[in-house]
Amino acid sequence: MEDELQKCIIKAKEFVDAQNFQKAYEVYEEALIKFPANSELNDGLRNMQENVLERISPKPMVSPTSIHYGDLPGDNVILRHEEGKVKQWLETTDENSDTNQSNSQVHSEMVLEEALNFFKNGEIHRGRHALRSFCNSSDHDVYIVMKSLYDMTLYKECIIYLFTSRHPKKNSVSVWILGAKAANELSLHATAEHWIREAFQSDDFNSDDQEELMQLFFKIRTARLFDNLPSEEGIEVNLSEKGRSVRALCSYESQSVIFQEGPVLISQALDSDYDDIPACSHCAKCLVSAEQFFGGKSLKATRH
């Protein structure tokens, strides 16, 4: 019996070393039927399960130099929805284009200051057409246009302008930052985070931009996760490289709800042969339990 036990242990370890976890699990399962109380078998199976779960769901990195800037589960859907909003704004502009057809030649020759005057006077559609004509007919500094719009709190116009940019790959870090700030102001948080990631890919990105981008990303992610909390709740939310915190600013009655997490989303598991598994809607960490992954019955056997 002892020889048979050792053969099973050696065989299981060989499969684990070869990362053939399914075969290793089968060896452990069969061996535990004969030797249910053997500690070496139980420990070996448990360690293998923990390693597999860790491989499927690595712990998120949150240090300042390795912050997780990746998108959240479902962000591709949210991005398409937010892009749809911007397209609706553009369609509204196009529907009103006929009213200004006679002035199109004049608009094409306007400088930026004249285009901005339309916005100042509340003539949004004329301002958009003037700005579009100006940008299409001249070589201009994209940052100056974005900065002018942003300083006038024309956040929607910043987003429209950046969406219709002719050469997005040439945009500077400063341009993407202004776009992300404007998108955040209008609660287009997925777009704002996407543009932060674009900033990291800009040709002029350098290490000096790291801190500003990191702080802006934290601000956007905080707004995204917690802006739906009513301000009268008397709480302060902080999301930083040290983690997330929700701090009470006043006394609360016993059993009162201060904060409630959002729903868990379904995400594709990376580096695995499995289909949809539950994942945290905030950090994308896998939430599958050991019982779900390996089966409750076999785990129960290893814990006795």
Q: What is the pLDDT along the chain (304 residues), one digit of tens a residue?
A: 678 888 888 888 888 888 787 888 888 888 888 888 888 888 888 888 777 766 655 444 433 334 467 777 677 888 888 989 888 888 776 555 544 444 444 444 455 778 888 888 888 888 888 887 777 766 778 888 899 999 999 999 999 988 887 677 888 999 999 999 999 999 899 999 999 999 988 888 888 888 888 889 888 887 777 666 555 556 666 665 555 566 666 666 777 766 555 544 444 444 444 445 566 655 556 666 656 655 544 444 444 4
Closest CA to 262 of 285, 234, 228: 228
Rounded Cα gap, residues 168 and 4, in angstroms: 66
Rounded Cα gap, residues 6 and 268, in angstroms: 38
Tell me what pLDDT residue 108 has.
42
Q: Which domains does the chain have, with CATH numbers?
A: 2-57+292-302 (no CATH), 75-227 (1.25.40)
Tell me what pLDDT residue 68 has.
61
